[in-house]
Amino acid sequence: MTMATTRDVDRRVFGGVCAGLASRYRYPVTRVRAATVAFSVATAGLGGIAYLALWRYLPAGDGVSLPESPRELTPAIETIPRPVEATSEQDPPPAASEAASPATPGAAHVSNGSLATEVEARDPSAAVYGPVAGDLPLVRERMLSIAQSVEFEFLKRMLDQALSGSGKLMRPAIALLGGRLGTYELDRLVPLAASVELLHTATLVHDDVIDEAAERRGKPTSAALFGNAASVMLGDYMFAHAADFIAQTDNTQVVRKFASTLIQMANGELTQDVTAFEYSEDVQRYLDRIIGKTASLFATAAEGGAMVGGVPAEQVEAMRLYGLRLGIAFQIVDDLLDFTGDPEVMGKPVGSDLRSGTLTLPAILYMQQRAEDNPIKRAFEGIRQNANFERAIAEIGESGVLDESRRTAERFADEAREALEAIPTGEVRDTLEGLVDYVLERKS
């Protein structure tokens, strides 16, 4: 496997150190880089913090069930055969007879529609969140609450900066919609939804450290404002609070799901960083990676909400599949926008992922078409990088790979809709179907 080494000197956080060690001790630079990244994540304490926060809530002798293999989740697209779908190994939730419909007196809470206007004013896309739009401010309030009790002013400023973004709260909305299928208890569903979004935000803080990113969505990153070391600890602090929130669901199945999702996400992020500027990436490895770093959290939000709501096992599994397929479609669309989006809206230049060494679906399909004359390969090898990147980005925009990538996203979206066939008809199902359309049509 050939990997370019120019990236180690010029572009990443540990590049110069890795190249220096490899040169001095004559170790393969790929091994030095992998070891350095693994060590940095280990010292960040992700696994340790999550474990310390969660162990007391897990029954003695029980282990965390590892998630199913991402390779069992491949869609029916022309370039990839469809394998047999694995079944969920989660314990079944309470029977339907034990769960009260949100429309019945047994429901713990009815959505506060008066808050929906506030959500839509902040983000017009919230109109697609239907019956849970009015409860999303409660999720945001719960997230912001972690800064209120902080006495250390510097940490408080970091938290305020990291949590003040204009996120669309799509993952929390999906979690609340899953709960709407059963007993809608906001005392447990709001912490679940907040933990999902807080986990997502923490990973972005760590990503910006690893990527040396000065801006995200046109705003300064925590790393740029406060430094890398402080930002790593900020991410750890949010990971710990996310674990505390998930424990407030009082559902050990959801706690296990949270822990396994954290494992998947860390693995996906490590894979992306270690394989940066590696031009042997293929479609299947790309799907494995985005399932770990993106789709797994969508699946956890959907499945976790249904679990907390106490819906039948068939609907829990349907929500998991829905979230997983929707998350894959979401990431593919995100990767398309890297080539087609408005830089002002996206907050980054066109082709930023490719320039940073990350191969997404459009770039992979383009490389397969241009095996003999490949400007991406030359750029990754350090040969006239700017010129070759510019040529590749222009040719990707003019070729048919963007259309092919969009068709792939649409196939995953169709599979998300198919998963909803097990969900009762009504406002919740209509909203979930509308979210699929929103993901495909979004511009940022």
Beta bridge partners of 220: 215
List pLDDT tens digits, range 327-364.
999 999 999 999 998 888 787 889 999 999 999 999 99
Distances (CA, A) of 345 to 4, 12, 73, 348, 363: 32, 25, 32, 8, 22
Does any domain span residue 331?
yes
- Tokens 């170790």, residue located: 27
> What is the rounded distance in angstroms from the CA atom of residue 312 to the CA atom of residue 306?
8
Name the DSSP class of 5: S
List pLDDT tens digits, range 273-282.
888 888 878 9
pLDDT on residue 15: 45
> What is the rounded distance in angstroms from the CA atom of residue 187 to the CA atom of residue 249?
8
Domain extent, residue 416, equals 45-441
DSSP 190-232: HHHHHHHHHHHHHHHHHHHHHHT-SEETTEE-HHHHH-HHHHH
Does any domain span residue 24?
no
pLDDT on residue 409: 98
Which domain CATH number covers 89?
Answer: 1.10.600.10
Does any domain span residue 186?
yes
pLDDT on residue 123: 57
pLDDT at 115 over 70: no
> What is the rounded distance in angstroms from the CA atom of residue 349 to the CA atom of residue 55?
43
The number of folded domains in the chain is 1
* pLDDT mean across residues, the chain: 79
Does any domain span residue 217?
yes
Helix (H, G, I), strand (E, B) or coil at 414: helix
> Amino acid letter at 89?
E
Number of other residues whose CB lies within 10 A of the CB of residue 215: 12
Q: How confident is the model at residue 55 (pLDDT cuts 50, 70, 90)?
A: very low
Instruction: Look at 74-78, 133-137, 312-316, 381-385 and tell me which has the smallest mean pLDDT.
Output: 74-78
Does any domain span residue 360?
yes
Q: Which stretch of DSSP H or E encloses residue 6?
A: helix 6-10
pLDDT on residue 22: 45
List pLDDT tens digits, range 133-169.
999 999 999 999 999 888 899 999 999 989 986 578 9
pLDDT on residue 429: 98
List pLDDT tens digits, range 85-97.
333 434 444 433 3
Q: What backbone torsions phi and psi does residue 107 show, to the nearest 5 degrees?
A: -65, 140
Q: How confident is the model at residue 318 (pLDDT cuts 50, 70, 90)?
A: very high
Does any domain span residue 30?
no
Average pLDDT estimate for 19-29: 48
More confident residue, 145 or 119: 145
Does any domain span residue 264?
yes
Instruction: Look at 64-68, 210-214, 436-440 and tell me which has the smallest mean pLDDT.
Output: 64-68
Number of other residues whose CB lies within 10 A of the CB of residue 23: 13
Beta bridge partners of 80: 77
- Tokens 């956080």, residue located: 13
pLDDT at 129 over 70: yes
Q: How far is CA 3 from the centre of its chain?
A: 26
Average pLDDT estimate for 393-417: 96
Name the DSSP class of 28: -
> What is the rounded distance in angstroms from the CA atom of residue 262 to the CA atom of residue 300?
10
Does any domain span residue 35?
no
